[in-house]
Amino acid sequence: MPCLKVFLKLLFFTKIVACNLAPGSYPYAETYELSYSEEEVKTAINKFKQEHPEYIVPKVTINNQGSWDLPDGQSKEPTHWYGVYFYYRNENKIIFTWTRPAGKNKTTFAFVSINDGLNLGNWKRINKDFSRSENKEEKKKFEERILNKIKEKL
């Protein structure tokens, strides 16, 4: 019995450490595998935004100063991700996502974080900074409002 307790404690500790030392730039992102090329996914995203302009992010500020566009586009160095932003007008929240090829005809579409308001710097990471119930709710909203609508365009 003592061995079982030690094993369970070790397993719990390993899980905590692994989550907090997760590798990569976006270790907590919620990822979705789509069986389409990245170009097809980006085209579907653009169609979605054309048909639903309310999801396009308005001008943003930094430290409540200035006025900038938040364009979608390829990351600089490293060029692994194509960043895409959406806007929840009623909640006044910016959604950050990215796409990345995952093979010849596969793409990873990731839900990364949510910024509260149009002043940048209030980001909360999905699967990390929300309570379990809030996280579940945010993923459900994203899937219903954005992901499933994009899938319809594919």
Alpha carbon distances (Å) from 9 to 13, 21, 128: 6, 18, 22
Ramachandran quadrant class, 19 (left: phi over 0; alpha: psi -120 to 50; beta: rest): alpha
Domain coverage including residue 127: 28-153
Residue 139 maps to a domain: yes
Residue 142 maps to a domain: yes
pLDDT, average across residues 105-120 = 97
Residue with tokens 């308001």: 117
pLDDT given for residue 25 in this prediction? 76
Q: What is the pLDDT of residues 35-85, one digit of tens each?
A: 999 999 999 999 999 999 999 999 999 999 999 999 999 987 767 899 999
Residue 138 reports pLDDT greater than 80: yes
Residue 14 maps to a domain: no
Q: What is the CATH number of the domain that holds 70?
A: 3.30.530
Whether 125 contacts 28, CB under 8 Å: yes
The two three-digit tokens of residue 49, written as one number = 């935004």
Residue 3 maps to a domain: no
Residue 129 maps to a domain: yes
Residue 30 reports pLDDT greater than 60: yes
Report which residue type is found at 18.
Answer: A
Question: Tell me, what DSSP letter sits at residue 56?
Answer: S
Predicted TM-score of the model (pTM): 0.83
Residue 10 maps to a domain: no
Residue 11 reports pLDDT greater than 90: no
Whether 89 contacts 54, CB under 8 Å: yes
* Residues above pLDDT 70, as percent of the chain: 84
pLDDT given for residue 32 in this prediction? 98
Residue 12 maps to a domain: no
| Buried b or exposed e, range 17-52, using 16+ CB within 10 angstroms | eeeeeeeeebebbbebebebebeebbebbeebbeee
pLDDT given for residue 46 in this prediction? 97
Residue 118 maps to a domain: yes
Total of domains in the chain: 1
